[in-house]
Amino acid sequence: MVMYHIVRLETRASRPVDLFFSDEDGDVGLVAILHFATGANSPPPRGWDTMPKLEFLHDPEFNQKKSLFPKANTCRLVLQLPTVHDTFEKFKEYMTSGILNAKGFGYA
């Protein structure tokens, strides 16, 4: 049996992450987040070989700016969240846009 745990991350972005994942009236549900991060619409019956991870995008990209949008590595099962937003509303806007506009593999 696979057990799933919710862990509160003690970082600057922990509050927006907690709120985003628990926001029931938002456009993005947990299935969409799971699909974005792993490429799967549901966890495999026997679980993943590697536990999915959450990372934060602190480093600038090739253009010397930090990413506004979430990213995912579906092979490594890593969801990467932006850290540049100063309000929850902006964080949610870019998360929703990034996840809903990245159907399948690739960047939003």
Sign of CA dihedral 18, 73, 85, 29: negative
- The three-state secondary structure class of 79 is strand
- Pairing of β 53-57 and β 78-82: parallel
- Structure confidence at residue 11 (pLDDT): 45
- pLDDT at site 2: 34
Q: What pLDDT band is residue 105 in, cutting at 50, 70 and 90?
A: low
**What value does the mean pLDDT take over residues 68-85?**
90
Compute the CA torsion angle 27, 31, 36, 42 (nearest 10 deg): -170
**pLDDT given for residue 1 in this prediction:** 35
Is the model's pLDDT at 19 over the cut of 50?
no
Confidence at 31, pLDDT banded by 50, 70, 90: confident
Query: Domain map of the chain by residue range?
Result: 52-108
Phi, psi of 17 (to 5 degrees): -65, -45
